[in-house]
Each structure stands twice: as C-alpha cells, then as structure tokens.
C-alpha cells in the first residue's frame, strides 16, 4: 500500500482497490489535470498526466475525462490520444471522443446570435475575451484588471442573451459560458456509470461545473470518492463537499499515481 494513500483510505477508495475492474475513474480537465493559466489556449495537462493516466487506465475498468472544453481540444491540450481506452466527454457530455473517433451534435441555432452580439456587449471591458468553442461560447475575465467586477458586470446581460437564445449560462472560474441546455456533468457521469456497469467510482474536479458530478457520485449508490483539486479560487464550497482535497493538478496526478501503485503492489 502506498504510504500517502493509507491516510485517506475511504470506503470508496477501498472498493476501487478491491475490485479495480469495476471502477470508473472520472476527471475534469482545466484546474484538475491542467493547471489554470491566464490564457485558455495556453492550458496544457500537467507533464506527468498522460503517463499516469495511461498507467491507471490499464489497471481500472474505465477512465473518462468530462470537460466543458470541446472533446478534441481536451485531447490536444492533454495529449490524451496517448492514453489507451480513455473516453473524453466534451461540452459537458454533448460530445464523445473515443479511440480517435469524435461524435458531436449539431450546433445550437442560438449561437450565431450570441456570436454577433457578444463583441458589442464586452466592448469597453478591458482584458475581457471571448473563447469560441463552436458548440458554446465562453466569456473570460481573468485577464481583466478587476476580474470579479467584470464577471459581475456581465452576469445580467449574458443572462438576457441566454434567455433570448434558449442557451444556458454556465458559470466557472472567471468565466461565463453560453451553452446548450439540458446536459451537465452529473447526468453525463450517471449515464457513463450505467454504460460501464460500474461497481465503484471516483470523480475529481475543481470548479462549479463539477458540483453536479460530485452529486452524481453520491446519488449513484456505489462506493464512491469525490476529489477536489484545491485552489484559492473556488475553495470552500467544493472542498467542503469533497471526500478528499488535494493540491491542484499536481495533487490529483499524485493521487492517481498512488492508486496505480497500490494496484500494482510494492
């Protein structure tokens, strides 16, 4: 047994170690596998990530990344095509990437209007930028002089845009995203657990969008573990809900590596 793991051996972790073939290990991407950086296009997986995921993927039933990113972006930024058997569910579950094949739904009709309106809406807000993700559009304020004030200023007008177009607003770390409604990480994880006939589950996340996946772990009735990839930004509420709190992506990778160590023996 790995030394660090002994101290946090919850019932969920014990179930994963006792029956790894029945385990589903789910992870979020930004803030969980990839450190948060100012420019969304510069985000990349922790250097040890692909190797540790590949190692763990050989040992457990299923490994899945569930992300607000387009699946192909997560695969690219995470070098996830180096992880055999990995499934990537992008856009909160709208898209699926598996064995190099991407399944993606039609574009929501409201997005064209959002694209046309957003530049006017953010005009004059220094450092605010738009991330166009094809099937959703995100507005980032991390690079604004006052990121929280910029988010607060944008919340109401973006809410109006959402109401006008039938899109949903997804809030996150200094980001407000307009995306198709009806899908969240909770429903996506629940469906994946069913598809894989999971007998235990671990999910690691760091942001508001991951709260639904934490709830899905609990609602599954399976032995489960929730892991919060801790940061100063969204701390209290997620950290209090999680079974295990680790120190950002480096801590998540270390935990996953410890699980792989425990499964392979001394």
CB of 120 to ligand L263DTV3, least distance (A): 21
CA 56, 173, 23: angle at the middle one, nearest 5? 20
Phi (first) and psi of residue 135, to 5 degrees: -100, 5
CB of 244 to ligand L263DTV3, least distance (A): 18
CB of 238 to ligand L263DTV3, least distance (A): 12
- Site for ligand L263DTV3, rule CB under 6 A: 28-31, 36-38, 40, 43, 67-69, 131, 133, 138, 140, 142, 172-175, 177, 207, 209
Among 142, 156, 180, 115, smallest CA distance to 30 is for: 142
Nearer to ligand L263DTV3, 177 or 254 (CB): 177
Nearer to ligand L263DTV3, 43 or 198 (CB): 43
Contact 225, 202 (CB under 8 A): yes
Nearer to ligand L263DTV3, 69 or 199 (CB): 69
Give the nearest residue (CB) to ligand L263DTV3.
68
Nearer to ligand L263DTV3, 30 or 257 (CB): 30
CB of 131 to ligand L263DTV3, least distance (A): 5
CA pair distance 136, 94, nearest whole angstrom: 11
Residues ≥6 apart with Cβ < 8 Å to 97: 71, 72, 74, 75, 80, 87, 88, 89, 90, 103
């Amino acid at each position: 047994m790995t030394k660090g793991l002994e101290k946090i051996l919850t019932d969920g972790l014990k179930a994963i170690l006792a029956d790894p073939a029945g385990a589903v290990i789910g992870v979020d991407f930004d803030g969980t596998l990839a450190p948060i950086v100012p420019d969304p296009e510069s985000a990349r997986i922790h250097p040890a990530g692909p190797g540790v995921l590949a190692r763990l993927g050989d040992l457990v039933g299923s490994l899945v990344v569930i992300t607000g990113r387009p699946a192909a972006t997560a695969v690219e930024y995470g070098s996830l095509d180096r992880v055999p058997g990995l499934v990537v569910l992008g856009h909160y579950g709208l898209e699926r990437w598996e064995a190099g094949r991407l399944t993606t739904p039609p574009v929501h009709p409201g997005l064209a209007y959002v694209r046309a309106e957003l530049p006017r809406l953010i005009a004059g807000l220094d450092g605010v930028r738009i991330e166009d993700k094809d099937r959703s559009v995100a507005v980032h304020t991390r690079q604004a002089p006052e990121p929280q004030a910029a988010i607060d200023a944008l919340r109401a007008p973006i809410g109006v845009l959402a109401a006008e177009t039938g899109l949903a607003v997804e809030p996150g770390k200094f980001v407000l995203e307009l995306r198709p409604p009806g899908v969240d990480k909770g429903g996506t994880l629940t469906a994946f657990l069913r598809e894989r006939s999971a007998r235990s589950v671990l999910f690691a996340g760091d942001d508001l969008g991951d709260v639904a996946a934490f709830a899905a772990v609990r609602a599954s009735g399976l032995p489960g573990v929730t892991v919060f990839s801790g940061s100063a930004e969204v701390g209290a509420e997620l950290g209090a809900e999680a079974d295990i709190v680790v120190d950002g992506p480096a801590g998540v990778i270390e935990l996953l590596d410890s699980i792989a160590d425990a499964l392979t023996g001394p």
